[in-house]
Amino acid sequence: MRPTEAEGLSAAISAVSWARVASVMGFSTFRAASRAPETLSKGITVKPRLKPVGETPMFDQLEILNMARGLATHSATRQQVVAQNLAQADTAGYKARDIASFGAVYQNGPGLELRQTRSGHVAGEMPPEALRPFIERGIDGDPNGNTVSIESQMVKSAEVQTRHEMALSIYRTTLGLMRATLGRG
């Protein structure tokens, strides 16, 4: 690899890292595509020297990164459904919901895409039907018609957390291997 390509890969990895840090910390002014310095908060200036994330097709071509991204997105969506179920645990007539397993969703589609909810997030669009919650069947409910079992929802929540951590671990390991290949890791 020529030095400029290696620098470009390093910059792309830095762009993803900075975009994630900015989005996690709630900085909405960070734009990876910008070449001008941006002030994130008092006295902290970031000078991105990188391409916009959308201009790094290498990341889109690595199936393992697509799978890890899809697993993380699936886990986040399932955690939202579990949280909604737990929030409605005392609501009369509420039916517990869940989403299809990651294996079923991943096999049926080209992979899950990320939604851009903040300017620093990676752009993309999630297929609306892929993660649509459905009502769980075969669950005995309370006399008031509620089918939420707090115990089963807590088990699902722990499973979701494990899968999300696995996705992040896969992502970190893959990026570490890329850095090591370039001699930067």
Q: Average pLDDT of 94-123? A: 69
Per residue in 3-47, pLDDT (tens digit) is: 455 455 455 555 555 455 445 444 444 444 444 445 445 555 555
Per residue in 111-136, pLDDT (tens digit) is: 445 445 555 555 444 455 556 777 77
- What's the predicted TM-score (pTM) here? 0.58
Spatial distance between the Cα atoms of 65 and 27, rounded to a whole number of angstroms: 25
Three-state DSSP at 97 gives strand
Question: What is the per-residue pLDDT for 119?
Answer: 59
Instruction: Work out the end-to-end distance of the chain between its first and last CA atoms, rounded to an integer number of angstroms.
Output: 16
Spatial distance between the Cα atoms of 92 and 144, rounded to a whole number of angstroms: 5
Per residue in 49-90, pLDDT (tens digit) is: 555 555 555 666 788 888 898 899 999 999 999 999 999 999
Residues 32, 50: contact at Cβ < 8 Å? yes
Question: What is the per-residue pLDDT for 26?
Answer: 46
For residue 39, what is the DSSP state? E
